[in-house]
Amino acid sequence: MALVACPTGSIGTTERHDPHTGIDAFPMPIDDNVYFCGFTSESSFGAWSYLITRPASEGGNVLVDSPRFASQLVKRLEAMGGVSRMLLTHKDDVADHELFRKRFNCERIMHRDDGAARLGVEHVIQGTDPVQLDDDLLVIPTPGHTRGHVVFLYRNKFLFTGDHLAWSPARQTLTAFRSVAWYSWPEQTRSMENLLSFEFQWVLPGHGNIHHDDAQSMHEHLKRCVSWMKTVK
């Protein structure tokens, strides 16, 4: 799996291997109808992307951020129903979004302040208020890492966090990344505090560690994260 998904193709083997070994593992199930895509892209710094599978009656399949446009992955996505929407958390992790748009004719969604118009995005989010995309999908603007960063909440259970929020194994709680708050750390702290209004059980980041817990525990972890962020300059 690591060999076929490596963003720079830097992993090799000392023995012959079946080139298809590991490929069928992606997209890899996480929980319910949510999958990890693998095939990360060097142009997105190896950021993770995710797939939500849904019937057409619920809006069709959704890609969260862009994986590498690898033929093996594209074939798997086609077999799983294609892609109707691509949700882009921020400008760092767009990778091969345009190729996926051309292949699947999917609608891309991104915030104006991260260059959505420049990228030709079809659905542009503006301002700082949450936007309900459909019954299950909510866009929550979270400026801080970048000016137009957003996170996506699916079914009040899965929070796709881009570069905004991840799990810290060292601190055993949720965390943010001060060293890459390109836009504003104080703004990111306020954005994080705003997330306390929402319920979720999964944090699925572009960088960092995934974490799953019950909603109340997640809320407590998030409160600790906010308190810690307020002490960091």
Among 120, 146, 126, 142, smallest CA distance to 197 is for 142
Residues 157, 115, 206, 107, CA torsion sign: positive
> What's the DSSP call for residue 209?
B
Q: What is the pLDDT of residues 131-172, one digit of tens each?
A: 999 999 999 999 999 999 999 999 999 999 999 999 999 999
Q: Both tokens of residue 178?
A: 């001060």
Domains of the chain, by residue range, sit at: 2-229
pLDDT value at position 191? 98
Domain 2-229 class in CATH:
alpha beta
Neighbour tally for 125: CB within 10 Å:
24
Contact between 7 and 15 (Cβ < 8 Å): no
pLDDT value at position 22? 54
pTM: 0.93
Q: What is the pLDDT of residues 192-219, one digit of tens each?
A: 999 999 999 999 999 999 999 999 999 9
**Cα angle vertex 224, ends 223, 225, to 5°?**
90
Q: What H or E segment, with its residue span, contains residue 175?
A: strand 173-175
Poorest-confidence range of 6-10, 55-59, 106-110, 193-197? 6-10
